Amino acid sequence: MAGHSKWANIQHRKGRQDAARSKLFSKLSKEITVAAKMGDPDPDKNPRLRLAIKEAKASSMPKDNIERAIKKATGGEGEAYEEIRYEGYGPNGVAVIVEAMTDNRNRTASNVRSTFTKNGGNLGETGSVAFMFERKGEIVYPASAGDPDTVMLAAIEAGAEDVESSEDGHTVYCADTDLNEVSTALEAELGESESTRLIWKPSTTTELDLEAMQKLMKLVDALEDDDDVQRVTTNFEASDEVLAQL
């Protein structure tokens, strides 16, 4: 089975169990502040901010934290962050995309490069792996949102491109530029989503065995532990047996 959606489930369960919530909230706050600075501080007029707030709420981030992050932007507080994307290879040549926000490009580049090297990977040039992914909007609903046919019909009417349904729930994909409109339409039909965000969806994948998967998770964990790193995406594929052993 392709590992993209499974990886999200692994991360979700793992996050519920042992992730440092303060670190997660810090990264969510950074995204909210940057979104509010770049556009209107009113989420109804700023699609990126609206999506950032939805993601924060889905992660149970307190309302006070969200409002504080917006006020930092409108009050001119906080650092001037730069968005950077790093690309490289992990174990067995699996492609890795690292999205970061930083106030010190040199520090972040050095840390990311070092993390790749220490964990059996190699940092590449910009564009070295991005061609193996497509930029998409992703909207995740629990299984309780409806049966696959109901969700599929709602997604098609909302303008989505594809739906993947399983016992864990439903993942709706759309063009990256349509995410705000599609998620709003789906919300009217199915209620609040569990997650709404832009992703890098693999168009080609790399098969990994158990040993390689363990090495990949070590690399991803180390990257995500960096305060400057917002999100890490890979194009691994693994069997259900391998994923179960993790």
Domain count, the chain: 3
The residue count for the chain: 246
Mark whether 183 and 139 lie in a shared domain: yes
Of 49, 74, 99, the residue at which a domain comes to its end is 74
CATH number for the domain harbouring residue 163 = 3.30.70.980
Question: 193 and 150: one domain?
Answer: yes
Domain of 222, in residue numbers: 82-125+204-245
Q: What percent of the chain is predicted at pLDDT more than 90?
A: 56
Residue 114 reports pLDDT greater than 90: yes
Q: What is the pTM of this model?
A: 0.83
Alpha-carbon span 220 to 213, nearest angstrom: 10
How far apart are the C-alpha atoms of 152 and 234, rounded to whole Å? 26
Measured in degrees and rounded to the nearest 5, phi and psi for residue 99 equal -105, 130
4: pLDDT strictly greater than 50: no
> Which of 74, 93, 116 lies at the terminal end of a domain, its last residue?
74
Quick one: 208 and 228 in the same domain?
Answer: yes
Whether residue 114 contacts residue 243, with contact meaning beta carbons closer than 8 Å, is answered with no
* pLDDT tens digit sequence for 57-106: 888 888 999 999 888 887 766 567 889 999 999 989 999 999 999 989 99
Determine the average pLDDT of the residues in 225-241.
Answer: 91
- pLDDT confidence tier of residue 51, bands split at 50, 70 and 90: confident
Are residue 106 and residue 226 in the same domain, yes or no?
yes
Which residue in the block uniquely carries the two structure tokens 């309780």? 144
> Three-class SS of residue 94?
coil
Q: Indicate whether 13 pLDDT > 80.
A: no
181 and 64 within one domain: no
Write the single-letter amino acid at 41: P
13-17, 154-158, 176-180, 222-226: range with lowest mean pLDDT: 13-17
How far apart, in whole angstroms, are the C-alpha atoms of residue 64 and residue 84? Answer: 28
Distance between CA atoms of 108 and 85, rounded to whole angstroms? Answer: 11
Torsion of CA 147, 149, 155, 156, to 10 degrees: -170
Give the confidence band of 244 by pLDDT, cuts at 50, 70, 90: confident
User: Chain-wide mean pLDDT for the chain?
Assistant: 87
Could you tell me how many helices (H) and strands (E) the chain has, helices first? Answer: 9, 10
Distance between first and last Cα of the chain: 15
Are 55 and 92 contained in the same domain? no
Closest by CA position to 187, among listed 152, 153, 224, 139: 139
The pair of structure tokens assigned to 63 is 């309302």
DSSP secondary structure code for residue 143 in this structure: G
Average pLDDT, integer, range 93-121:
95
